[in-house]
Amino acid sequence: MGCSASCSGRIVHSDDDKIKDAKIIFVVGGPGSGKGTQCEKVVAKYGYTHLSSGDLLRAEVASGSERGKTLQAIMQKGELVPLDTVLDMIKDAMIAKVDVSKGFLIDGYPREVKQGEEFEKKIGAPCLLLYIDAKGETMVKRLMKRGETSGRSDDNEETIKKRLDLYYKATEPVIAFYSSRGIVRKIDSELPVDEVFGHVAKAIDGLK
């Protein structure tokens, strides 16, 4: 929905214009690298809205809808769900929050270069990409530990391996793609959580 002028005569931007003009930060890193952990801290300090594509999808699964059932089968195999599905869910969530957010953290998306291109076509361009970087063995260790309590059906050894393989194959090219635009900040996520956040905060403070 959108209109270009309101009854009072003020210019009112359409939903599409509003989300296009919002500050958009992509948060990219392997499974278990610490994206969610850092995003939570950014929300608390900066008033951004955190949108985890995985969380949005899991909420759809939990709703028990037909779409959720299809999604669950895909996610359980450690595969990527269809691009349009994720993108529509992110866009709806952004529109719902755009009036009360300082910006958006898009966590776990884009998972592949094509997803980034589609995002920019349908929504807008990111001003920063936070590359949350941890070693493969660290990510596996953290996910196995998280799996003890997360209840996530994909936090098991077999699926973790597949998710990591897919990350290296599909998502690392995303980082190269945005590096050429000069918006990538690589964050060492082997450090303790608060130190990692120090670097994240510096990158965000550097935005104008």
Ligand X SMILES: Nc1ncnc2c1ncn2[C@H]1C[C@H](O)[C@@H](COP(=O)(O)OP(=O)(O)O)O1
Contact 184, 129 (CB under 8 A): yes
Shortest Å distance, C-beta 156 to ligand X: 14
Interface contacts to Mg ion, rule CB under 5 A: 36
Residue (of 92, 115, 108) closest to 19 by Cα position:
92
**CB of 24 vs ligand X, minimal distance in Å:** 18
CA–CA separation, 29 and 98 (whole Å): 25
Binding-site residue total for ligand X (CB under 6 A)? 16
Q: How far is the CB of 2 from ligand X (least distance, A)?
A: 33
Instruction: Give the per-residue contact string, 54-93, with ligand X (x = CB under 6 A; - = no).
Output: ----------------------------------------
- Binding of ligand X by 29 (CB under 6 A): yes
- Whether residue 179 contacts residue 133, with contact meaning beta carbons closer than 8 Å, is answered with no
Amino acid identity at 187:
I
Q: Which of 18, 37, 118, 170 binds ligand X (CB under 6 A)?
A: 37
Task: Return the residue nearest ligand X (CB atom).
Answer: 34
Among 193, 198, 202, 207, which residue sits at the site for ligand X (rule: CB under 6 A)? 193
Residues 6+ apart with CB under 8 A from 19: 91, 94, 95, 98, 104, 123, 124
Among 20, 146, 162, 186, binds ligand X (CB under 6 A): 146
Check residue 33 for interaction with ligand X (CB under 6 A).
Answer: yes
Alpha carbons 34 and 5: distance in angstroms, whole number = 43
Interaction partner, residue 196 (ligand X, Mg ion, none; CB < 5-8 Å by kind): ligand X
Binding part of the chain for ligand X, among 10-18, 33-41, 72-80, 154-162 by CB under 6 A, reads: 33-41
**Considering the rule CB under 6 A, would residue 36 count as an interface residue with ligand X?**
yes
Cβ pair 121, 112 in contact under 8 A:
no
Q: Classify residue 71 as exposed, middle or buried by CB count within 10 Å of its CB (0-12, 13-18, 19+).
A: buried
Nearer to ligand X, 60 or 107 (CB): 107
Contact 155, 143 (CB under 8 A): yes
CB nearer ligand X, residue 64 or residue 192: 192
Cα→Cα distances 44→47, 48, 50, 113, 207, Å: 6, 8, 10, 30, 18
Applying CB under 6 A, which residues contact ligand X? Answer: 29, 31-37, 142, 145-146, 189, 191-193, 196
